[in-house]
Structure 1
Amino acid sequence: MSDGRRTGRAPRAVLALLTVTFVAFVAIGAAASADAHDVLVSTNPANGAQVSRVPPTVTLRFDQTVLGLGTEVVVTGPSGPVQVGKAGVVDNTVTERLQPGAPAGRYTVEWRVTSVDGHPVSGTFAFTARAAGVGQAAPSTATSGTASSSGSTTGSSTGSSVPWFLVAASALLVVLGGAAAAWSRRHSASARRRQ
């Protein structure tokens, strides 16, 4: 009788342990995942800055490495978009070239990068140039890129990929559940043999 009670209690204890382990794993994974998105640390020109003339490039620096795939920077001024070619990505720095001779005025920079965790992050910032950029203005056909970010000033992430910690926690739960079921069957058979 006592063997039967002990066998009944053991699977419940194992299931309780599995539940606690799963919850802890998910909580730790969620915290790690939240920290994985890249954060914009600084820009050149700085947000809201007034610069003497339109710079030749715009630079964005992030707290972590940026993935090149999906990275896009659109710089729009009084005469429309002035970025030239694709943005360059080196480690945590993204650089976008601007048209020579771009006119004085207010510029809005819309950016989107792919975080180190694979999720896109986007935002905007602005600066004002008191004089045109150095060099002659390029013809309007030389502009490239289209605005694709949402205009949000804070990082946002989208995507449907399942976070790694949920996959790992699910796999762990399946393995531990299988082990608990096998242990329960073995002890039940052992208890029946003793009767």
Structure 2
Amino acid sequence: MHANRPLIQTLLAATAALASSIAFAHPKLVSSTPADKAEVAAPQKIELQFSESLVTQFSGANLVMTGMPGMADHAPMKMAVKVSGSDDPKTMVITPTQPLPPGSYRVDWRAVSSDTHPVNGKIAFTVK
């Protein structure tokens, strides 16, 4: 029985390592409203749904207007927003402080889950 002790210890160590790597997976963007590359009426809020619960104090987003109809040389302009969590800890809510005018937009997001490693990404949409 003692001959199996090193094997059992190795299996326990491998199981613990696998469990910790699963627990420390990075959050991934699962979906967004509006959807990436969508053309929509001005949304009152933008929701990003992630694969894991977020640590809201370390997660966030910026909304940037990247184009305006009739203005070919429109410089990117950061829009004022409020970023918050929701009842679902996997959802980030971005609420513009004013109605969004027609144009193209990009959401630059940063998501942090329990592993504390930030993951960054972006989605884009057009307001018609």
Q: CA distance change for structure 1 residues 58 and 20 in 2, over 3 Å: closer, same or farther?
A: closer
TM-score (structure 2 length as normaliser): 0.73
Tell me which of the two structures has the higher relative contact order, counting C-alpha pairs closer than 8 angstroms and 6 or more residues apart: 2
Q: Alignment partner for residue 58 of structure 1, among 39, 46, 54?
A: 46
Identity %: 26
Which structure 2 segments of 5+ residues have no match?
Answer: 68-75
Equivalent position of 1:27 in the other structure: 18
Note the 1:26-105 alignment, pairs <5 A: 26-30=17-21, 32-33=22-23, 36-52=25-41, 54-77=42-65, 78=67, 80-85=77-82, 87-90=83-86, 91-105=89-103
Q: Deviations over 1:74-98 (max 9, x none)?
A: 111135011324x111222211121
Is the partner of 1:69 in helix, strand or coil? coil
**What is the SS of the residue equivalent to 1:68?**
coil
Q: Which has the larger radius of gyration?
A: 1
Structure 1 residue runs of 4 or more that deviate by more than 6 Å after TM superposition: none
Q: Which residue of 1 aligns with 2:122?
A: 124
User: Cα RMSD over matched residues?
Assistant: 2.5
Secondary structure class of the residue paired with 1:26 = helix
With normalisation by structure 1, the TM-score equals: 0.51
